[in-house]
Amino acid sequence: MSIISNHLPTDELQALDAAHHLHPFSENEALGKKGARVITRAKGVYLTDSEGHEILDAMAGLWCVNIGYGREEMSQVAARQMLELPYYNTFFQTTHVPVIALAAKLAELAPGDLNHVFFAGSGSEANDTNLRMVRTYWAQKGQPEKSHVISRKNAYHGSSVGSGSLGGMTYMHEQGGMPIPGIHHIAQPDWWAEGGDQTPEDFGLACARELETKILELGADKVAAFIGEPVQGAGGVVVPPSTYWPEIQRICKKHDVLLIADEVICGFGRTGNMFGSQTFGISPDIMTIAKGLSSGYAPIGGSIVSDEVASVISACEFNHGYTYSGHPVCAAVALENLRIIEEENIIDHVRNVAAPALKAAFEALEEHPLVGTINMSGLMASIQLAPIKGSRAPFAGEQGAVGYICRENCFAQNLVMRHVGDRMIVSPPLVITPAEIEVLATRAKAALDATYAELQEKDML
Ligand code: PMP
């Protein structure tokens, strides 16, 4: 076999990829025939593919490259740490400097008394930790039957058996025996799709009160925790009505149910604060973190837990952990990422510059005949495609078919937007400039125009 490098022609790379690489969340047979796009390098907000296209990555990878691509400091820190201590575990009465420093830094950044960190390799692993931790917490307090966890339909909490069960994606549950027992899903606060005639505020309250109904149905002495993303990301950037989170918080407190905020997407600046919990006034007992923790430069996640939860868990041996919990290279890279976010005032940039620029650009797109509404929180947004202006009616036929067409048209414009059903998602690197946002919006408009023309041609409107 020849040496596999960037210098091989695209079709050879694609053929090897199709022959040996199974892609996540993909129909691999169809993808193999089409040929995956080969990304060769990236800088700032732009990707380059093997054909030399410069593609604006409006998704920051998978909602994670918060500081943008190609930051040399990150590679230098990783190289230094690999030479000094590439690996050591934290299981057997040992620790190391990068994990100590990162845990202390996260305790400083996290709100309230969230002062203790259990590390994982990803968001999925961290949510598996949370599931076991909340059950262990109540068992330690003499209530082992307080073990059920309530989540939402259309939530995303990861792809392992535990985290996929916590998630509310039915298309995932259909494969591999999920959800596991003891996990329940209530309505999501998606006013556009499910709010009917209610005002957003009334609908937000009604959705939150489903939590109380479910707690009373199961018995408060059986419910360990509620888990939710401050803004559902993979569900389509579902920004909840203002009434939703305060009511959830009140209900959790009233019934002694732990509140887990899954900050895997919202954390580290995405919504214009360090954490989404701060944007939405949530005081969680546990926060799940990953993605923006290292800006995707190294795989790392974790659970930041309150003094109370930590003190109960610390009184027993918690028989849980991963080989890469607190991996020194990942921890050092995450620390450098946090230094960059703080020292370069990236969150101020999101709040005062980038999010207002994106909002203005997308408000202009609201005029487009295909656009129903724009959902937005900080630098995460979705464009709801709709067949009839001024109506929340969905497209006829299979949901997501129009979104898929639009995503293909985005690719043709050298723009990465993802589609969730018929919503087009953007979640760009937080360092994106107003000029780059203009490029994003221009390409998005061209993709919408092309989609509109294609729908008219195919008689899909
Ligand atoms: N929680 C949320 C809110 C997520 O968006 C994701 C990933 N998209 C996860 C958990 C899972 O993280 P990972 O893919 O790192 O396992």
Q: What pLDDT sits at residue 2?
A: 62
How close is the Cα of 319 to the center of ligand 1, in Å? 23
Q: What pLDDT sits at residue 277?
A: 98
The DSSP output letter for 221 is G
CATH code for the domain defined by 37-67+345-457: 3.90.1150.10
Rounded Cα gap, residues 160 and 19, in angstroms: 25
- Return mean pLDDT, the chain: 97
| Model pLDDT for residues 168-208, shown as the tens digit of each residue | 999 999 999 999 999 999 999 999 999 999 999 999 999 99
Q: What pLDDT sits at residue 403?
A: 98
Contacts 24+ apart (CB under 8 A), 421-424: 421/236, 422/384, 422/385, 422/386, 422/394, 422/395, 423/236, 423/237, 423/375, 423/382, 423/383, 423/384, 423/385, 424/382, 424/383, 424/385
Q: What pLDDT sits at residue 450?
A: 98
Atom in ligand 1 nearest the alpha carbon of residue 234? 5
How close is the Cα of 387 to the center of ligand 1, in Å? 31
How close is the Cα of 142 to the center of ligand 1, in Å? 32
> Which residue ranges in the chain fall short of pLDDT 50?
none
Q: Which amino acid is at 131?
A: L
Q: Where are the domains of the chain?
A: 37-67+345-457, 73-343
Q: What pLDDT sits at residue 90?
A: 96
Tokens of 355: 């999010």
Q: Which of 264, 282, 297 to mutate to test the pocket of ligand 1 (most atoms within 8 A of CB)?
A: 264
How close is the Cα of 46 to the center of ligand 1, in Å? 23
Handedness of CA 43, 46, 47, 52 (dihedral sign): negative
HSE, side-chain direction, 13 A CA sphere, residue 352: 5
Name the residue with the closest Cα to ligand 1, atom 1. Answer: 157
Yes or no: say if 56 and 443 are a contact pair by the CB < 8 Å rule: yes
Q: Which of 124, 288, 293, 300 to mutate to test the pocket of ligand 1 (most atoms within 8 A of CB)?
A: 124
Residues with CB under 6 A from ligand 1: 62, 122-124, 127, 156-158, 229, 233-234, 262, 264-265, 290, 301
3-class DSSP state of 381: strand
Yes or no: say if 136 and 316 are a contact pair by the CB < 8 Å rule: yes
How close is the Cα of 133 to the center of ligand 1, in Å? 18
Question: Residue ranges of the alpha helices (H) in 261-390?
Answer: 276-280, 307-314, 328-343, 346-349, 355-365
The DSSP output letter for 351 is I
pTM for the model stands at: 0.98
How close is the Cα of 373 to the center of ligand 1, in Å? 25
Q: What pLDDT sits at residue 144?
A: 98
Q: Please write down the HEC assignment for all residues of 426-455.
A: ECCCCCCCHHHHHHHHHHHHHHHHHHHHHH
Q: What pLDDT sits at residue 6?
A: 83
Candidates 3.40.50.300, 3.40.50.970, 3.50.50.60, 3.40.640.10; correct CATH number of 73-343? Answer: 3.40.640.10
